[in-house]
Every structure is written in structure tokens, then in C-alpha cells.
Structure 1
Amino acid sequence: MNLEAYIDGGSRGNPGEGGIGVYFPGVVRIAEFLGTCTNNFAEYSALLSALRFAVYSRCDELQVSSDSELVVKQIKGEYQVRNEGIRPLHDSAQRWIALIPRFSIRHVRRESNKEADKLANLAMDTRRNTVKWE
């Protein structure tokens, strides 16, 4: 199975109340409230949510789109992970990625990531987790 995921994480304040949105077009929409966190923690949490879903779905190929240049470049090895608080999330993401036969991640503009952004905002607005199957 091939999957495409659009991911976004955010926090209102940095740190502040955070949430994530993960959008698999035609499959599922996930909104998760995180509580107090940094923006980068939320962005990595969105990636981890997408990776877990893909692995548990026995996905053969996953294409992730994110508007976080930092996360994309750190996952690709183009940027170092300097923040010790983020390193465990990065390392966990790499372990999940190793379980997916074909994985790619790309940076997209915010305008191309509106669905995931809406889901992250829904989580922060409602302070709830939501899963909607398509």
C-alpha cells in the first residue's frame, strides 16, 4: 500500500498549548491535542503520528509533506539536531522510518498544507483528539 501524508504541528506560544494535524488524502484525518509543548516538538509529533499510522497499516511507500523546513532537513540529514529536547523525537522518527520500505519527505509551502494546518488548529481549539475516516 502506498500512502501520502500531509503533516503539521503548532503551538500557541513557544512553548504553549500545541496540537498536530495529519492528513492522509482519501484515508483519514487525525487531530491530536498535545498540551504544553514547543512548535518543533509539535512538528515532530505530527511526523511520528504519520509514521506510526503508516507502519501499522503495513504501508510499502510513504510520501510525507511538511511545511516545517527544520524537520524535513533534519530527517534528510541536511541539518544537525542541536536541540537535546528534540533529539529523542528525531531518533524515534528514524527508527519508524526504517520500518517503511520506501520513505520520502518533502518541504511544502503553508498554502499546500492547509488541511493538516486545519486539523492542528482543530486540536488546539477543542483540546481534543479527533480521527475521521474518509
Structure 2
Amino acid sequence: MRKQGLKLYFDGGCRPNPGEMETAVVARGVTYHRSNLGHGTNNDAEWLALIHALNVALSLGETELELIGDSALVVNQANGVWKCRSADLRTHLTKFEILATHFSRIRIKHIGRSRNLAGIALARQRIGL
């Protein structure tokens, strides 16, 4: 049986949109939250969350990853399925691609918002749970 690699759930958000950005990554049941990331759009925040997930994986010493998020735009752009036409988003894609060279295998998967553990963690953070 082939090892799946470390599962990392990622999500980014901002309130309002555009607004102050934050990200969450969940790996091995631990939530890694970052806030006060500057002003941007929900798409910027989602890209920052994917990049955050790679940094978490690096800190954990992982080389094979399964990245799981609910942004179809970011998942499809990172997988090369959709073109990245925005200059701002291309900057995030470039950062992602540079960080990705540190890993032997990366799989990026889209799931529904209600199943994204990082999105659930962000929502709980907002309401103070």
C-alpha cells in the first residue's frame, strides 16, 4: 500500500472581502492559525493558506503531502488546470512553486467547505471558541 503523505487542510479568509486576511492549516489534529496578514481578497487569503500549509509541512519535516482545501480556484491553479491570469495571484503561485521544490510529492485536492477542517477552525476562531 502506498503512503498517502501528511494530510494538511488549509483555508484562508478575510472580513470583509477585501479585508484583513487570516489563514488556518490543520495537520495531525493541530491547528496553525495566522492572522493580521494584511489587506487582500479571499483569493489572496486562500493562496496564503496554501503557502502556509507548505511552511507547516517543512517545519514538521515532511516530504510527501496531501493538501486539502475548499477553494476551487487555488486548487486548480496550483495543479496547473486553470491559468493564473491575475498578476497578484501569479505572485502567490510563484511562491508556492518555489516552496514545492522542497517536497518529493504533493497532491492537492478540493473538498467542500463543510468538510474542510481548516475552515471549521477559522470559523471557530472568529466566534471565539
TM-score range, shorter chain: 0.7 to 0.9
Unaligned runs of 5+ in 2: none
Task: Return the structure number with greater relative CO, CA threshold 8 A, min gap 6.
Answer: 1
RMSD over aligned CA atoms reads: 1.9
**1:1-42, Cα deviation, whole Å (9 max, x unpaired):** 93110010111122112211110133x211111232210110
Ranges in structure 1 where 5+ consecutive residues have no aligned partner: 127-134
Q: Give the equivalent residue in structure 1 for 2:101.
A: 98
Q: Could you say which residue in structure 2 is the equivalent of 1:117?
A: 119
Q: How many residues align?
A: 124
Cα offsets for 1:79-122 (capped at 9, x unmatched): 11111111111101011112100110000001111x31133345
Q: Give the TM-score normalised by the residue count of structure 2.
A: 0.86
> Which residue, out of 60, 64, 70, partners 1:57?
60
Structure with bigger strand share is: 1
* Counterpart AA for 2:71: S
Superposition misfits of 4+ residues, deviation over 4 angstroms: 122-126
| Structure 1 SS opposite 2:62 | coil
Identity %: 34
